[in-house]
Each structure stands twice: as C-alpha cells, then as structure tokens.
Amino acid sequence: MLDFFTIFSKGGLVLWCFQGVSDSCTGPVNALIRSVLLQERGGNNSFTHEALTLKYKLDNQFELVFVVGFQKILTLTYVDKLIDDVHRLFRDKYRTEIQQQSALSLLNGTFDFRNDFLRLLREAEESSKIRAPTTMKKFEDSEKAKKPARSMIETRGEKPKEKAKNSKKKGAKKEGSDGPLATSKAVPAEKSGLQVGPENGVELSKEELIRRKREEFIQKHGRGMEKSNKSTKSDAPKEKGKKAPRVWELGGSANKEVLDYSTPTTNGTPEAALSEDINLIRGTGPGRQLQDLDCSSSDDEGAAQNSTKPSATKGTLGGMFGMLKGLVGSKSLSREDMESVLDKMRDHLIAKNVAADIAVQLCESVANKLEGKVMGTFSTVTSTVKQALQESLVQILQPQRRVDMLRDIMDAQRRQRPYVVTFCGVNGVGKSTNLAKISFWLLENGFSVLIAACDTFRAGAVEQLRTHTRRLSALHPPEKHAGRTMVQLFEKGYGKDAAGIAMEAIAFARNQGFDVVLVDTAGRMQDNAPLMTALAKLITVNTPDLVLFVGEALVGNEAVDQLVKFNRALADHSMAQTPRLIDGIVLTKFDTIDDKVGAAISMTYITSKPIVFVGTGQTYCDLRSLNAKAVVAALMKA
C-alpha cells in the first residue's frame, strides 16, 4: 500500500498528488528536496525519512520530479515499474501544458490523473502477484543422469578424475623400483595366489598399495628425522657458549632518574620559561584570521606554459576539426552518450583518492541530472558532464550547516559559560597537534583556552599537551593580557575515567572564567567497541557544543568506513534518546597529498557535515579554512 504519490516541478509547483493515508506528505517530500535534490546526492533513487521510504525519478527534459512514498517495513517490488509507467503516461498526456515552461500555465492547467494512476497501480500490483509456476526438475534432465554409473564410483582417498593418471604413475614407480623392494612385495602376493608384477599387467591390491606406501614413507622421513636430531645436537653447544653483549664506555645508563625529564606540575600553575625560538614554533602568516585553502602548486604554471607552446604549432585546420569534434547539437542526452565520459570521470575521481562507492554515486547523480536534458548547438558531452560534476562537487563541499566557532563562542560568553569542543578520531591522525593549532587561533582572537587532557590511554599524551601549553604560554604570556593566564592544561594523569576528567575540566573552566574548553580524547579504531562506548559516554555526559572528527587527507575508502562506524557507534552506545553525532571535520596532513584531495569529498558526502579546519603543516599558523572551489579545481585537474 502506498502512502502517497506526488508530481511536482523543479520550480516547486505541485502538479498532482495522490494521498493513500491521512498523513501529510509535505514533511517527507521537503526532507527529500533539502537532503538529496539540493545537495546533489541523486546517485541513489531511494531516500529514507523516519518510517517512510521515498523513491523518486527525475525528468530533466520537462523539469519534473516524481516521488512515491511507502512504509519502509514493506517490500513493494512493483514500485519501480509503477513510477516508470506513471512518468511515461503523465509526460505523454500533458506534454503541451508542460512544454509551455511558464508557472502561470502550470497553475491554470488541470491535471486530472487520478483514474489513470489507479489503473496503473492496479496493473503493477497484479503483475507483481503473477508468477510462473515452478516445476521440479526430473532426474532424466539433470547432468548426473547423463554420466555412466562407472564414472561415479570413487575409490577412497582418490579423486575420480585422477584415476588414470595415478595408475600410470604407480606403474612407473613399480618399473623403477629397486630389486629388493620388489621381491619383498612379491612374496606375500605369491602366498595369496596372486601374480603381481608390471610384466603381467596386473595392478596391486589395495592392501599391498597401502603397505608399500607406508614403507616408502618410513624410509623417506626416517632419514630426515635422523638429520634433524644431528642438527639439534650440534646446535646445543653453541647456545651454551653464547656471546655476551658488549658494554660501551660512553653508552650511558638507562636509569629511571636519568630518563625522567618531566617536572611535577599541578593544574593552574604557570609553566616554565621556553628556551626555543618562538618564531619557529609560531610559523609565518596571520594567526588571527584563517586563510582560505590554496590547492594550486608551482607545477601548474609550468604545465600551463608548456601546454600553450605546442598549440601554436598546430594548423588552423586541425584546430577547427578538434573544436567541432564531439558536438552534440540540439538533442537530448541519453545514458549511452554519457557512458564513456562518466567512466573516465569515475576513474579520475578514484585516482584522486575519492572513495570508490562515492565516485560511482557521484557519476550516477550526474547521469540522473543530465539524462533527457536538451543541449545547446555548440556543446560537447565531455564539457557538459564535467561542468555538471563540478557544480555537484562544489554543492557537496558546502553542506547545510556552517560552523562558525567565533560567533558561537561569543554567544556562550553572553551566557557566562565555557564553549566546549571535543576532538575524536582514529590513532595517529594528529588530534593533539591540530588541537594546539586551534588553541593558538583562539588565543590570537582574544579567547582564553583550557585544554583538557582526556587521553589517559596513550603514553606521552599528557606530556605532549604540556609541551604545547608551555609553547602557547610563551607566545601569549600573561603580561600581554593584563596578567590573565590565557592557556592552561587540566590533567589528572593516566588510567582515569575520561568522562570524569572532562566534567571536572568544564567545571574548572566555569569557575576560573575560561572562554573555551578543548577536550582531547584517545585515538581509537572504529571497530573497538569498549573505546567507542567510552567516547559515547564522554559525549553524552558532558554534552559538548561541538564534536569534531579529526581525519587524514591521505585515506581513500578508509575515510568512509571510519566516519560511518564512528557515527554508528556514537548512536548505538549513547544513552540519550537523540544521540549526539559528529558535527564537523578537521582534515589533517593536507600538505602531503598534492592534488589528491578526494578525502574531502568522501568525508563530506558520507556525513553531510562541513570541514571546519584544514591542517597544512607543522607550525601553529598552518591552519586553513576550506575553499570549496579550490578543492574542486584541484580534484578536476588532469
């Protein structure tokens, strides 16, 4: 049973609607438009909204959208056939009204389509019920009946197809066997009254074959065992006289007191003075304002200059034919026209580190967007598909919600509470380093920061944050801020409950008047259930304002797996009725990938969450904001 079926134009005018239940279809259809159609995620023609499954079809020639909705617990096999039949009949029946391309004509037009729809629905339901009767297969029709009975007899421990080969090999072994062995075998056979021997052409019985193989096995492996015993005996004296390790004179000692460079510190105490060069730590560039990400490299200018040189040597005739090659003319695009171009685009995206499944869905979305669309006279299929793909990629990198941390922090200041940010991610992606970069950016904008060391699992995690805190304090000493301590580290050591430490840090920040609390968590793999449960507990108990997932720009398909399983684990292990999921992404190590920027597309596509920060280096100033057009330009570069 269908809940609804609606037909509307891409301009937003509802042409016709069928209501199967009393509930309104406005909410699900608006969710489909907002989450799929406007976000260029049309690779899959199915969309789930709460308890409903929506399937849709786009008509790009007449700018129409056909949507059908039904309960997701139902398995309706006829929905695809129904939506195709309705699309074909509605387009053919009201072609003249739709082709006028004016909102007034569509509003004044009468689309009496109910009787036709009910007829198509009845036919689709009946066609799904009609099934051909299944007849059982007879033994005479099977492959086994065609084989003779002799070929199906198998000897134990021997494959049927290798009988002839094994008999030949056994005969060859008998011919090449030694004299004493042959005579020893022939004696018991003569007692039993059998004439055995290759000269008579008679094979040995099963018992004789087993006995012969057993003796051959003992002869072969008995010698190997003797050799192994000799080798073990010869190696034993060497182990007794093992050489002692050499002790170097200037090697130093590994005492605990010598290797302990840490100084006992408590929460709130100022750090010692820094002996390192502050300019090297800070880096170059303005730290107060984030710069846009620049994906262009120095090789691009040289490649552009080299590409212009051979173009001057080409003849005008060849250039003319090259320009006219592939022109479409005033015709509508079909799947066959775009297939070869889309295959090349898909391979290009995968080579640029876009996850394989997402590359397929992107190309499928572009195909659905362009299928049936009438092209201009001087338009090529390649340029049209490439332009549509670029528009889709830019739209994907600009998701629905935009995270503005500075505005949210100032709003939290007016409410006299700290703004809490939690960092999570897998091992080794740079959570602590990028937390320090974000701390420096916040300090440059005049906000005080408390860093909560909630990574109580990895050895050296607290010491790493202590080093960052000391460097940040040297860059922003209290003397520059009227004696106010701008950055502090809150830590309780190792082996403690991370959720409890975060709660104490938030309370400490509220009492001491800190503006921002940055919570560093332990790195964990997405399949580690105990650690994912602990992370979900930390987020549920402390309810941070922002949950940032830190991921590498080096990964391809792994980015999808990490984000999907992190969100799923946070939802499964959360104790809240509406679980808190990832709010944004921090993309690290972006300076190591050149133009292979596909991880940004994969992460944004799979979560619909924005990339808030991009890490591009080792210093505190190497933090950028995402520039969607620059990333897409680097992604589409050949």
The answer to whether residue 458 sits within a structural domain is yes
CATH of the domain at 10: 3.30.450.60
Is residue 111 over pLDDT 50? Answer: yes
Q: What is the pLDDT of residue 315?
A: 42
Residue 535 has pLDDT above 60, yes or no: yes
Residue 226 lies in a domain: no
Q: Does 362 share its domain with 505? A: no
Measured CA to CA in angstroms, residue 189 lies from 168, 175, 212, 539 at distances of: 21, 17, 12, 83
Domain-embedded: residue 499:
yes
Claim to verify: residue 410 and residue 451 sit in the same structural domain: yes
For residues 495 and 606, state if they share a domain.
Answer: yes
Asked if 25 contacts 4 with a C-beta cutoff of 8 angstroms, the reply is yes
Q: Does residue 296 surpass a pLDDT of 70?
A: no
What is the rounded average pLDDT of the residues 163-169?
47
CATH number of the domain at 593, please.
3.40.50.300
Say if residue 338 is in the same domain as residue 449. Answer: no
Q: Are residues 411 and 388 in the same domain?
A: no
Percent above pLDDT 70 for the chain = 70
Q: Which residue has the higher pLDDT, 207 or 501?
A: 501
Give dist(CA 59, CA 10) in Å, integer. Answer: 9
Question: DSSP 3-state helix, strand, coil percentages of the chain (rounded to 5)?
Answer: 50, 15, 35
- The predicted pLDDT at position 504 comes to 94
Residue 266 has a pLDDT of 47
The full DSSP string for 449-462 is EEEEE---SSTTHH
Number of domains in the chain: 3
Given pLDDT bands bounded at 50, 70 and 90, which one contains residue 305?
A: very low
Q: Within this chain, do residues 390 and 415 fall inside the same structural domain, yes or no? A: no
Range of the domain at 460: 405-627
> What are the residues facing 66 on neighbouring strands?
7, 57
472 & 580 share domain: yes
Closest CA to 293 of 602, 563, 588, 560: 588
Q: 123 and 97 in one domain?
A: yes
- Domain end among 343, 367, 397: 397
**Would you place residue 175 in the very low, low, confident or very high pLDDT band (cuts 50, 70, 90)?**
very low
How high does pLDDT run on average in the chain?
Answer: 77
- Tell me the CA distances in angstroms from 187 to 178, 191, 192, one per residue in order: 15, 7, 9
Burial zone of 245 (CB within 10 Å; 0-12 exposed, 13-18 middle, 19+ buried) = exposed
Q: Are residues 366 and 452 in the same domain?
A: no
175 found inside a domain: no
Any idea how long the chain is? 638
Residue 195 resides in a domain? no
Q: Minimum mean pLDDT among 129-143, 196-210, 494-508: which range?
A: 196-210
> With 50 as the cut, is the pLDDT of residue 82 above it?
yes
85 in a structural domain: yes
Question: Considering the entire predicted model, what is its pTM?
Answer: 0.64
Of 336 and 144, the structure prediction assigns the larger pLDDT to 336
Asked whether residue 418 falls in the same domain as residue 531, the answer is yes
Whole-Å CA distances, 247 to 209, 254, 255: 63, 13, 15
Residue 58 has pLDDT above 90, yes or no: no
**Which pLDDT belongs to residue 293?**
72
pLDDT, tens only, 387-414: 888 888 888 888 667 788 999 999 999 9
Task: Answer yes or no: do 381 and 442 share one domain.
Answer: no
Would 145 be classed as within a structural domain? no
**445-471 residue pLDDT tens:** 999 999 999 998 888 899 999 999 999
| Stretch 417-438: mean pLDDT | 92
Which residue among 85, 103, 127 closes a domain? 127
Residue 430 belongs to a domain: yes
| pLDDT the model gives residue 234 | 47
Among 102, 127, 152, the domain boundary falls at: 127
User: Is residue 345 located within the same domain as residue 434?
Assistant: no
Q: How many CB atoms lie within 10 A of CB 514?
A: 23
